[in-house]
Amino acid sequence: MVWWYWMVLGLALLGAEMTTPGGFYMIFFGLSALLVGTLGGLDIVATDWLQWLLFSVIAIGSLLLFRGPLLAGMS
C-alpha cells in the first residue's frame, strides 16, 4: 500500500478510538498503521505483503502486551 494510506488509516483508527467508549482496542491498530506508514514512507518496508504482516504482528502483539496494564492503570 502507499505509505500515506497507512497514515490515513492510522489517524482514522485513532480518531475512532477517541470517539467510542473505551475498550482500548483500536488505539493499537492505529499506532501500528502509523508505524507501518512511517516505515513505508522511508522505504524500509516496500512490499505489500510485508506491510500487512508487520501491521498484523505489531497490532496484535501490542494489544496483547499493553492492553491489560493500560486497563489496570485506569482503575
| Residue-wise pLDDT tens digits, 32-49 | 999 999 999 999 999 999
Residue 73 CA to residue 6 CA, distance in Å, equals: 29
Residue 35 CA to residue 72 CA, distance in Å, equals: 25
Q: Give the chain's mean pLDDT.
A: 94
Residue 1's nearest CA partner among 43, 54, 51, 72 is: 51
pTM: 0.92
pLDDT band at 22 (very low <50, low <70, confident <90, very high): confident
Residue 65 in this model has a pLDDT that exceeds 80? yes
Residue 6's nearest CA partner among 64, 66, 44, 20 is: 44
pLDDT band at 62 (very low <50, low <70, confident <90, very high): very high
